[in-house]
Amino acid sequence: MSDHTIETLSGEDRRFPPSAAFAAQANVHADVYDEPFEAFWERNGRERVTWFEPFTELYRWELPYAQWYLGGKLNVAYNCVDRHVEAGRGDRVAYHWEGEPAGEARTITYAELQRNVVRMANALKEIGVGKGTAVAIYMGMVPELAVAMLACTRLGAPHTVVFGGFSADSLSDRMNNMGCEVLVTQDEAWRRGKPVPLKTVADEAMGAAPGVRATLVVRRTGNPVPMTEGRDRWYHELEVSDDPASCPCEPMDSEELLFLMYTSGTTASPKGIAHTTAGYLVGVATTHSLIFDLKPETDVYWCAADIGWITGHSYIVYGPLCNGATSVMYEGTPDYPNHERWWEIIERYGVTILYTAPTAIRAHMKWGHEHAEAHDLSSLRLLGSVGEPINPEAWMWYHRHIGGERCPIVDTWWQTETGMVLITPLPGVTTTKPGSATRPFPGIEAAILNEEGERVEQGGGYLVLEKPWPAMTRGIYGDDARFRETYWSRFPGHYFAGDGARIDADGDFWLLGRVDDVMNVSGHRLSTIEVESVLVDHPKVAEAAVCGRADATTGQAIVAYVTLKGNEGPSVEMLEELRNHVAQKIGAIAKPANIVFTPELPKTRSGKIMRRLLRDVAENRSLGDTTALADPSVVSELASRAAEAPTDD
Ligand code: WTA
C-alpha cells in the first residue's frame, strides 16, 4: 500500500525559459511576485477600473464569503466600452467578427460597440428591464451576444448566458432558478453549415418557465420563426435611440450581482455560480493583461472558446473589453468548411495571441499539422490553453506547429467558480514545462494538501486556495448549504477546487484532473492524466482517456480509450504496442488492462472528457445521466466497441 494521496509518475524534464526579447517587452517582471497580496490587489483595483466612487475597504473575508472593493461604485459597460470612446479610442476595433458561412464578417469599433450597447439597452428598457431584472441570454456566437451582456450591465440587470447548444430543459431550469423575466435570443444560429433552431427551443423552454414575460429576438439567419404576439419582439423592429446620452450607465455597488453562470454538478442539478461587479472586473482585467501580455494598441487577441462558458465571459467579453483589446470572435466550428478554418482566420486578421483548449489542440493534432502549415501564422506571439490538463505531447505540438517554437505557452488553470485564472505562467517571466500550469498568479495563495489536510511540499494531493481573490464566486445562487458543502467542508477554512495536483521540487504545480477520477490500482492512487499523457506521447495516438474499473485482484484495473491519428487503424499489435509503451514509460503498475479504440471520446459540451461515463462503460453499468454530453451517440458506440475489445484478463 502506498501512503501517497495521489502518486505521480511523470518525468517530464523539458524546460522552456522565456526569450530575452520577449522578457524585455513583457507587461510584468519577476518582482511582481514580491508585491504583498493587499498592495497588489489595491493597486490593480485602482488602476484597471474607472470608479464612479472609489472603494474604501479592500476586502472583507467572512468564510466562506468574501467581498471586495467595498464602498465603491462603478459600471461594467462603462469600463468596457464608454470610457474607451471618451478617451478618444472609439476608432479602435473591439471585435473582428467572422461568421461561419464563408465571406460573412463584421468589424466593430469601440464607438460602434457603444452605439450597439445603448440601442440594445434601450430595447431592453422598452420591454421592461430595469436595475435588478434577471435576464437570460440564449444565443450563438454573434456580436449581439456580447452586446446583450453589456446592455444588461449598463442597466444593472444581472444576466445568465445559456450556451446555445443546451436543450429546452436546461434553459428552462436555469431561467426558473434565477427567476428570469426576460429572454434575449435569436432566430437561429449557424453550426457546421446547418441552422440551429434557437428560437424554437427557447419557445419550448418558456413553456416551462412561466416567469419569462418578454423576449427580444435578434435576426441572424433570416429564416422564419414563430413569434408569440405580446411576448416576443424583433430587436431590429424596435425604434429606440443609440445615443449614449439616452441611456446612462447605472452606478452599481461593488458587490451587486453581475451574472450567474450555471455549471453542472456531475449528478445533481446545475449550480448558479454567482459573480459580482467590482472584484470580478478587476480580476479578469488584471489577469487578462498580465497573462496574455496584452498590448491593446497592437495585439489581435483571439479566445476561441464560446461566450456561453466562463472562459468566454471572462476572456472574450469582460477582460479584453475592460482592457481595450482588439479581439477576434468566430461564430462556427474549427472544422467548417474544412480543417483549415482556424489557420485562415489567424492569417486573415493577423492574430497575435491565441487562447484555446486542449481538446481543440488534440483535434487539430488528429487532423494533421499540414492544415496549419498551409497558412502564415507568423503573426502569433503567444499561445494559451485552458479547460483540462494539457498532455505534454499536445503542448509540444502546439509549441512546434502553431507557435513556430517562438511563442510562450500559458497553461492557465481556473474554474467557473474562480472567475479568473489562478494558476499560470507569466510570459516573459516563467520558465514553462509542458504539462505544468506552473505557479499561482500574483496575489493568489494556493497549496496542495494531503488526505489529512497537511501541506504537501513536494508530491501529489488536493489543490486548495488559502486566501480569497477578487473574482471568486460569491456562492451558489439560492443555496448556501450546497456552497459550503461542495467547496468548504473537505478542508475547513480552505476553498477546495475538487482537482488533484502535484507540486514539484521547483514549486511548480501540475494539475492532475478531478479527484473523483483518481484510480486506485493495487493501493496506488494514480491520476488519469499521467497515463493519458503517456498514451498521447505515442506517435500514432491523437487522444486518450483512461479510467478505473473494478478488479478482483488489484482493486481497480486501468481501461484506456484511445483515438488514433489520421489514417491509423486499430489492431492487436497496436494494442500490445501501446500497453508496452505505458509500461516502459511509467511502469507496469499503469499498464492498461484493456484498450478500446474509438474514433471519438465522450466529451461535455465544453469539450472536457467525461470519464464518469467511461467508467460506466468499463463496468458494463447502465449509463448515468448523459445530458451533458456533446454527442450522446458516442457512448453507445463506445459500449459496443468495449464489449468486443480484447482484454488482458
Ligand atoms: C479543469 C474552465 C488542468 C479543472 C475555465 C477545473 C484545468 C475545471 C485547467 C473547471 C488547466 C481548467 N489544467 N485542468 N489549465 N483549466 N481545468 O468550470 O478540472 O469549465 O476544475 O472552467 O476544468 O472547468 P470550468
pLDDT in tens, 291-303: 999 999 999 999 9
Distance 98 CA to ligand 1 centre (A): 27
> Residue 401: pLDDT above 70?
yes
Contact 264, 270 (CB under 8 A): yes
pLDDT at site 9: 74
> Widest CA span of the chain, in angstroms?
74
Q: Helix (H, G, I), strand (E, B), or coil: what is residue 568?
A: coil
Q: List, in order of start, the domains of the chain with CATH numbers.
A: 109-250 (3.40.50.980), 516-644 (3.30.300.30)
Residue 444 carries which side chain, given as an amino acid letter?
A: I
The verdict on the CB of residue 556 being under 6 Å from ligand 1 is no
CA distance 466 to 491: 10
Q: Helix (H, G, I), strand (E, B), or coil: what is residue 108?
A: strand
Could you tell which of 414, 465, 496 is best to mutate to test the pocket of ligand 1, judged by most ligand atoms within 8 Å of the CB? 414
> Residue 105: pLDDT above 80?
yes
Distance 549 CA to ligand 1 centre (A): 24
Distance 88 CA to ligand 1 centre (A): 38
The verdict on the CB of residue 415 being under 6 Å from ligand 1 is yes
pLDDT at site 474: 98
CA distance 423 to 488: 20
Distance 267 CA to ligand 1 centre (A): 18
> Residue 583: pLDDT above 70?
yes
More confident residue, 166 or 566: 166
More confident residue, 469 or 270: 469
pLDDT in tens, 529-564: 999 999 999 999 999 999 999 998 889 999 999 999
Cell digits for 363? 483535434
pLDDT at site 84: 98
Distance 412 CA to ligand 1 centre (A): 8
The verdict on the CB of residue 487 being under 6 Å from ligand 1 is no
Cell digits for 540? 500514432
The verdict on the CB of residue 508 being under 6 Å from ligand 1 is no
Contacts of residue 195, defined as CB under 8 A and 6 or more positions apart, other chains included, come to: 188, 189, 221, 223
Contact 249, 154 (CB under 8 A): yes
| Residue located nearest, by CA, to atom 7 of ligand 1 | 388
pLDDT at site 224: 96
Distance 147 CA to ligand 1 centre (A): 26
The verdict on the CB of residue 517 being under 6 Å from ligand 1 is no
The verdict on the CB of residue 604 being under 6 Å from ligand 1 is no
pLDDT in tens, 594-635: 899 998 999 988 889 999 889 988 888 776 666 667 777 777
The verdict on the CB of residue 389 being under 6 Å from ligand 1 is yes
The verdict on the CB of residue 514 being under 6 Å from ligand 1 is yes
Contact 418, 471 (CB under 8 A): yes
**Average pLDDT rounded to a whole number, residues 348-362:** 97
- Between strands 189-191 and 194-196, the pairing is antiparallel
pLDDT at site 628: 67
The verdict on the CB of residue 110 being under 6 Å from ligand 1 is no
| Residue located nearest, by CA, to atom 22 of ligand 1 | 415
In ligand 1, which atom is closest to the CA atom of 437? 15
Residue 34 carries which side chain, given as an amino acid letter?
A: D
**What's the alpha-carbon Rg for the chain, to the nearest Å?**
24
In ligand 1, which atom is closest to the CA atom of 390? 13
Q: Which residues pair with 96 in a beta bridge?
A: 107, 328
Distance 413 CA to ligand 1 centre (A): 6
Distance 410 CA to ligand 1 centre (A): 14
pLDDT at site 648: 45
pLDDT at site 264: 76
CA distance 259 to 160: 6
| 230 Rama class: left (phi>0) / alpha (psi -120 to 50) / beta | left
pLDDT at site 148: 99
| Residue located nearest, by CA, to atom 15 of ligand 1 | 413
In ligand 1, which atom is closest to the CA atom of 385? 15
pLDDT in tens, 230-283: 999 999 999 999 999 999 999 999 999 999 999 975 556 889 999 999 999 999
Distance 50 CA to ligand 1 centre (A): 30
pLDDT at site 210: 97
The verdict on the CB of residue 418 being under 6 Å from ligand 1 is no
> Residue 566: pLDDT above 90?
no
pLDDT at site 644: 62
Among residues 393, 402, 392, the alpha carbon closest in space to that of 334 is found at 402
Could you tell which of 511, 516, 609, 610 is best to mutate to test the pocket of ligand 1, judged by most ligand atoms within 8 Å of the CB? 511
Q: Which residues pair with 194 in a beta bridge?
A: 191
pLDDT in tens, 49-100: 999 999 999 999 999 999 999 999 999 999 999 999 999 999 999 999 999 9
The verdict on the CB of residue 387 being under 6 Å from ligand 1 is yes
Q: Taking all residues of the chain, what is their mean pLDDT, rounded to a whole number?
A: 94
Contact 261, 313 (CB under 8 A): yes
| Share of residues in the chain with pLDDT > 70 (%) | 97
Contact 317, 108 (CB under 8 A): no
pLDDT at site 190: 97
Contact 187, 219 (CB under 8 A): yes
- Rounded to 10 degrees, what is the CA torsion of 101, 104, 107, 108? -70
Distance 483 CA to ligand 1 centre (A): 18
CA distance 553 to 557: 9
pLDDT in tens, 192-219: 999 999 999 999 999 999 999 999 999 9
The verdict on the CB of residue 606 being under 6 Å from ligand 1 is yes
> Residue 1: pLDDT above 60?
no
Distance 513 CA to ligand 1 centre (A): 8
The verdict on the CB of residue 386 being under 6 Å from ligand 1 is yes
